Amino acid sequence: MGFMLNRPGDLIAWWMYCAYTKGISPREFKRCKITDIKLIMGIDSAINEKNMREAQIRKLMSQVR
């Protein structure tokens, strides 16, 4: 499920793309600390995973009824 980014430059480019889709310009992204970016991406990832788990639970609960 998903894809792997092996090189550090690929990972930063992916984070830059994600930030751009959220409205953060590449120039503003470059001025941010990498630790702040990692923290934000980790939070975003955790929220997405939680939403996927809740959707699976709702699906299973609807099948039981």
Q: What is the pLDDT along the chain (65 residues), one digit of tens a residue?
A: 567 777 878 888 888 888 888 888 889 888 888 888 778 878 888 999 999 999 999 999 999 87
Residue 32, pLDDT score: 86
- Is 2 within the bounds of a domain? no
- Is 45 within the bounds of a domain? yes
- Is 1 within the bounds of a domain? no
Task: Let me know: does 22 contact 43? Beta carbons within 8 Å.
Answer: no
- Is 3 within the bounds of a domain? no
Residue 7, pLDDT score: 81
How many structural domains does the chain have?
Answer: 1
For 29, what's the count of Cα atoms within 13 Å in the CB-facing half-sphere?
A: 19
Q: Which residue matches tokens 């939403």?
A: 51
- Is 49 within the bounds of a domain? yes
Residue 2, pLDDT score: 64
- Is 14 within the bounds of a domain? yes
User: What is this structure's pTM?
Assistant: 0.58
- Is 19 within the bounds of a domain? yes
- Is 21 within the bounds of a domain? yes
Identify the domain containing residue 56 by its residue range.
Answer: 8-64
